[in-house]
Structure 1
């Protein structure tokens, strides 16, 4: 569990290792149950006629592509991230429109993404909801990602009133995480057991 890590001297690497190890211990049945719960919670906060930026969960990340289908069924336009580097430096995320799992293609880093054409990074500014992968999030909204920096370079382009929602497991909401000045705070977390949790209040 994340709380097993000593945060008196915060170490993002140790936190990432602890979270990933805990996620690998989940049974397929537990993973499936949590994915279904996240889909239901996401459906409940979807607003028809709006745009949401989301992502395709991979590996041990909470959730499933069914979350995306739930948004589409609710009348939400869904954009998915396209991650690329330039001269070895991660760039702000571009976006592709999601329609169905069958339309996704293989992408770098073992990800799945929509085929071209893609929208520029600024497309995130039109999203009322931005669903973000995370390893943990704290009560102030600080998010622990995988460290590549794609979202750090992108979230600052989101609309000021957008809901920025980190998807984590219930025990991955913690009291305090290390944060840096450039980090964009999450406004909410979404967990299987607790649903939408307001952060930073």
Structure 2
């Protein structure tokens, strides 16, 4: 029987928390180097600030800026009923982040509208796992589910993960936007399988 999303989330989070500090650091450094290889001076990238046991490290944001990229970070907001809204985006500047909900850090205003994701060619997406068809397992909050449909269809949507978090198959939903790639410390950039009728950027 296939594990449920809740079971998968619990197992992956437990494995991440149990990771030795030196392994976490080495993987973060490898991910940073691989991520920087994906950008060119002048590129605008949607990324995120890793927190807790998430793969990567905040230093990857500085590395992207040093490589000449403009880095946009997500700003999460909910409506009056507590329903997640599509993410807003703020430009990353070292030392310019403030504490936000969900234990995150976000850029100070001004923020760009949710549609700003549609003008970038690379979106780095937090994930707990991804499968060979691009189905992403997130934490279940729903912010990216509402934001990724606004991305350019030709953009690279890259889930940043540990090597063993790429699965053969994961449970998915009809509204899921598939990832085009996975980025792992040991295996690098992995192109994910092309679903029927959908062209994949390379």
Q: Give the TM-score, by structure 2 length.
A: 0.94
Q: How does 1:140-151 map to 2 (within 5 A)?
A: 140-151=133-144
Does residue 124 in structure 1 map to residue 117 in structure 2? yes
- Per-residue deviation at 1:47? 2.0
Could you say which residue in structure 2 is the equivalent of 1:3? none
- CA distance in 1 between counterparts of 2:2 and 2:34 reads 34
Query: Would you say 1:115 and 2:98 are equivalent positions?
Result: no
- Counterpart Cα distance in 2 of 1:24 and 1:9: 23
Distance, in Å, in 2 between the alignment partners of 1:98 and 1:117 is 11
Quote how far apart the aligned CAs of 1:59 are.
0.4
Partner of 1:4: none
Name the structure 2 match of 1:33: 26
Secondary structure of the 2:193 match is: coil
CA distance in 1, matches of 2:44, 2:4: 35
Q: What is the CA–CA distance in structure 2 between the aligned matches of 1:69 and 1:197, rounded to whole Å?
A: 24
In structure 2, list runs of 5 or more residues that go unmatched.
195-202
Q: 1:154 maps to which residue?
A: 147
Q: How many angstroms apart in 2 are the aligned matches of 1:69 and 1:182? A: 33
| 1:5 paired residue number | none
In 2, Cα distance between equivalents of 1:10 and 1:26? 22
Work out the CA distance in 1 between the residues paired with 2:83 and 2:193.
Answer: 31
Indicate the residue corresponding to 1:105 in structure 2.
Answer: 98
The match for 1:62 is: 55
Runs of 4+ that moved beyond 2 A: none
The reply on whether 1:49 has 2:42 as its aligned counterpart is yes
Name the CA distance, whole Å, in 2 between partners of 1:71 and 1:199. Answer: 24
> Cα RMSD (Å) of the superposition?
0.8
Deviates more, 1:69-78 or 1:51-60: 69-78
How far the C-alpha of 1:200 sits from its partner, in A, is: 1.6
Matched pairs, number: 193
Please state if 1:95 is matched with 2:93: no
SS in 1 for 2:145: coil
CA–CA separation in structure 1 for the residues paired with 2:160 and 2:131: 12
Query: C-alpha distance in 2, partners of 1:21/1:32?
Result: 17
Distance in structure 2 (CA, Å) of the matches to 1:31 and 1:10: 26
- Tell me which residue corresponds to 2:198: none
For residues 13 and 68 of structure 1, what CA distance do their matches in structure 2 show?
30
> Where does residue 66 of structure 2 map in the other structure?
73
Report matched runs for 1:174-193 at 5 Å.
174-193=167-186
- Offset of residue 170 of structure 1: 0.1
